[in-house]
């Protein structure tokens, strides 16, 4: 990220969001809303004097709310750019930060601003969110955490500086249960597999065991799906490290009010009865969900979503990078959850696909497009509803208008029109009849 920020041809617009997008490939008009940071990016040196004098603490979103941060603070140590931001909603406006700043970088009068950009191609890489349902006492019991929260606990720059402790009493847990497929592969929540959960439980359980070999770790799974190069070998190494993998389902979880330990009922495949065990901590391998940014960008770009809520690609197997709109490409988990290797490969493919027309300076397309006829149009507007590319609209006279850039010549509109008032160029009915007559002449 730091290298990208220093590149002369890359402009990072942090603390910003896309407000609207118009136009077409090579000529997109993008409006970006730059949110008020209340700290000047030009003069802030990142000295931290404002944070030192700030009296108010708020939950730290970067640490998954497992720690606290000041109202004015830097997002995390390696943030790019290293500029402080102010959570105005929680600020008591004591203006101590203003007095402490030698550079006079803090300005409470800042307002959001709209920046207009001319863009040739667009790559959407909005990431994913994690499922946080009420299953297994999450949000109710302190020692029931998600994998992302455990990642922050195990991180050297995390809230506990890499020391494995549980939130309730700050003691190190020695008996830990991992539960896979929480909120995924379930018809009631998300029927799809979230891809990364099995490997994540193997990685984190093995990481704990390597630091604390005396730990007792159990992983409850429906199926272990360790797909990818060397992942199966990694899973076998975890089994050889005395991590217990049990196939089955977890039922009820209750907390002991005195010890804060968790009493777990499990139905294990091969066991005749329901097994009850007590654990110090439970880690949930929760489902991957489309991020809020993914849902918002789908609205802004008028993009389709697949049934799982992720952005829909042009073709799931043959072209998972392109979208129905020429010039807009997908990368990463906005299109569907995937591992690191697949994400990197798709990102490189999206960058290459977006760079080809930009490098050539032109974009060539076949003009096999829908052509409407005002005389025959009954104005039922079924073609507008049927068009998968939103390329058909109505002008001020109520007549059908086809956008030649958005139209991909699929023929859906021509097939649904009851009065044959819209046809594909070069694929009209009279052309087909003439071709058939030539191929199959009628002998006299």
Please name every residue paired with 39 in a beta bridge, in sequence order, or none if there are none.
106
Residue 84 belongs to what domain range? 2-116
Q: Which structure tokens are listed for 392?
A: 């058909």
Q: Is residue 347 part of a domain?
A: yes
Within 13 Å of residue 88, how many CA atoms lie on the same side as its CB? 12
Closest CA to 147 of 207, 191, 193: 207
Say yes or no: 169 and 312 in one domain: no
Element (H, E) at 33: strand 27-34
Question: What CA–CA distance (Å, rounded) separates 291 from 122?
Answer: 18
The residue out of 289, 309, 326 marking a domain boundary is: 289
Look at residue 444 in the predicted model and tell me its pLDDT: 60
Say yes or no: 145 and 275 in one domain: yes
The residue out of 289, 324, 342 marking a domain boundary is: 289
Q: Is residue 167 part of a domain?
A: yes
Q: Is residue 121 part of a domain?
A: no
Look at residue 375 in the predicted model and tell me its pLDDT: 87
Say yes or no: 140 and 278 in one domain: yes
Say yes or no: 56 and 99 in one domain: yes
Question: What CA–CA distance (Å, rounded) separates 267 from 288?
Answer: 25
Q: Is residue 444 part of a domain?
A: no
Element (H, E) at 351: helix 340-360
Question: What CA–CA distance (Å, rounded) separates 393 from 403?
Answer: 8
Q: Is residue 39 part of a domain?
A: yes
Say yes or no: 399 and 386 in one domain: yes
Q: Is residue 122 part of a domain?
A: no
Closest CA to 417 of 439, 392, 390, 440: 392
Q: Is residue 254 part of a domain?
A: yes
pTM confidence score: 0.87
Look at residue 430 in the predicted model and tell me its pLDDT: 78
Look at residue 254 in the predicted model and tell me its pLDDT: 95
Question: What CA–CA distance (Å, rounded) separates 153 from 161?
Answer: 7
Per-residue pLDDT in tens (0 to 9) along the chain, 444 residues = 888 888 999 999 999 999 999 988 999 999 999 999 999 988 999 899 999 999 999 999 999 999 999 999 998 888 888 899 899 999 999 999 999 999 999 999 999 999 999 999 999 999 899 999 988 999 999 999 999 999 999 999 999 999 999 999 999 999 999 999 999 999 889 999 999 999 999 999 999 999 999 999 999 999 999 988 899 999 999 999 999 999 999 999 999 999 999 999 999 998 888 999 999 999 999 999 999 999 999 999 988 899 999 999 999 889 999 998 889 999 999 999 998 899 999 999 999 999 999 999 888 888 889 999 888 899 999 999 999 888 999 999 889 999 988 888 889 999 999 988 998 888 777 777 888 888 888 776
CATH number at residue 159: 3.50.50.60
Say yes or no: 213 and 297 in one domain: no
CATH number at residue 386: 3.30.70.20
Split into its structural domains, the chain has a count of 4
Q: Is residue 314 part of a domain?
A: yes
CA torsion sign for 187, 303, 118, 367 is: positive
Beta strands in 366-443 (DSSP E): 370-372, 392-394, 400-402, 422-424
The residue out of 235, 262, 289 marking a domain boundary is: 289
Look at residue 439 in the predicted model and tell me its pLDDT: 87
Say yes or no: 95 and 25 in one domain: yes
Say yes or no: 306 and 280 in one domain: no
Within 13 Å of residue 389, how many CA atoms lie on the same side as its CB? 23
b/e burial code for range 306-340 (CB count within 10 A of at least 16 → b): eebebbbbbeeeeebbbbbbbbbbbbbbbbbbbbe
Say yes or no: 301 and 280 in one domain: no
Q: Is beta strand 57-59 parallel, antiparallel or unpaired with respect to 128-130?
A: unpaired
Say yes or no: 220 and 174 in one domain: yes
Q: Which structure tokens are listed for 58?
A: 């708020």
Closest CA to 227 of 206, 202, 196, 192: 196
Say yes or no: 145 and 243 in one domain: yes
Q: Which structure tokens are listed for 197?
A: 């959960």
Say yes or no: 173 and 219 in one domain: yes
């Amino acid at each position: 990220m730091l290298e990208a920020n220093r590149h002369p041809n890359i402009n990072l617009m942090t603390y910003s969001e896309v407000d609207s997008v118009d136009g077409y490939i090579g000529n997109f008009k993008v409006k970006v809303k730059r949110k008020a940071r209340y700290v000047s990016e030009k003069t802030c040196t990142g000295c931290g004097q404002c944070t030192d004098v700030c009296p108010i603490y708020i939950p730290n979103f970067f640490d998954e709310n497992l720690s606290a941060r000041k109202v004015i603070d830097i997002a995390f140590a390696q943030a790019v750019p290293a500029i402080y931001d102010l959570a105005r909603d929680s600020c008591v406006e004591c203006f101590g930060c203003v007095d402490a700043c030698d550079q006079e970088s803090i300005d409470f009068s800042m307002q959001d601003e709209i920046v207009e950009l001319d863009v040739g191609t667009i790559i959407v890489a909005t990431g994913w969110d994690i499922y946080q349902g009420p299953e297994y006492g999450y949000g109710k019991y302190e020692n029931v955490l998600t994998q992302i929260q455990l990642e922050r606990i195990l991180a050297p720059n995390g809230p506990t500086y890499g020391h494995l402790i549980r939130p309730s009493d700050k003691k190190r847990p020695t008996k830990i249960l991992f539960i896979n497929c929480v909120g995924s592969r379930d018809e009631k929540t998300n029927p799809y597999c979230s891809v990364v959960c099995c490997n994540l439980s193997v990685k984190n359980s093995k990481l704990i065991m390597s630091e604390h070999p005396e730990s007792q770790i159990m992983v409850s799974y429906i199926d272990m799906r360790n797909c990818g190069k060397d992942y199966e070998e990694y899973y076998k190494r975890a089994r050889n490290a005395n991590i217990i993998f049990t196939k089955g389902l977890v039922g009820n979880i209750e907390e002991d009010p005195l010890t804060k330990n968790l009493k777990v009922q499990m139905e294990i495949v091969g066991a005749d009865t329901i097994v009850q065990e007590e654990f110090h901590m439970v880690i949930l391998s929760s489902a991957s969900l489309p991020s809020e940014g993914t849902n918002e960008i789908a609205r802004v770009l008028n993009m389709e979503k697949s049934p799982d809520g992720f952005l829909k690609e042009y073709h799931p197997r043959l072209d998972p990078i392109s979208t129905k709109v020429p010039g807009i490409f997908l990368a990463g988990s906005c299109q569907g959850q995937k591992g690191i290797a697949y994400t990197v490969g798709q990102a490189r493919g999206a960058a290459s696909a977006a760079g080809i027309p930009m490098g050539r300076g032109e974009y060539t397309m076949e003009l096999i497009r829908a052509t409407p006829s005002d005389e025959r149009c009954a104005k039922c507007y079924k073609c507008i509803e049927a068009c998968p590319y939103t390329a058909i609209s109505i002008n001020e006279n109520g007549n059908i208008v086809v956008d030649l850039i958005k139209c991909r010549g699929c023929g859906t509109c021509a097939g649904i029109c009851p009065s044959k008032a819209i046809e594909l160029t070069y694929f009209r009915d009279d052309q087909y009849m003439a071709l058939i007559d030539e191929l199959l002449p009628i002998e006299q």
